[in-house]
Copies of this chain bind each other. A is one copy, B any other.
């Protein structure tokens, strides 16, 4: 079972990396670019598990390891 986890900074948290990329794009001539935010994709191969097991596992993995829920939010999709 394969899955993708998307981890992004919460809206209220400043994103200096995104801000730097916005600055670089503006300097490259893309001066209409208003906002850039960076996140992570984590592609997992969960091995031989059912869809229900995958769902339960992913939730725990995200809460405990993959995302820092103080500043980040996550979404996952099972493929």
List residues of A whose CB falls within 8 A of some B CB. 6, 8, 18, 21, 24-25, 28, 30, 32-49, 57, 61, 64-66
Contact = CB atoms under 8 A, between A and B. Distances in A.
B41 A41 contact: yes
Chain A, interface SS category:
mixed
A43 B34 CA distance: 11
Given A32-B46, A32-B48, A40-B40, 11 more contacts: A21-B42, A21-B65, A25-B44, A30-B57, A32-B47, A34-B47, A36-B44, A38-B43, A39-B40, A39-B42, A39-B43
How often does this chain occur in the complex, in copies? 2
Contact of A36 (B30, B32, B34, B43): B43
Contact of A24 (B25, B46, B57, B65): B65
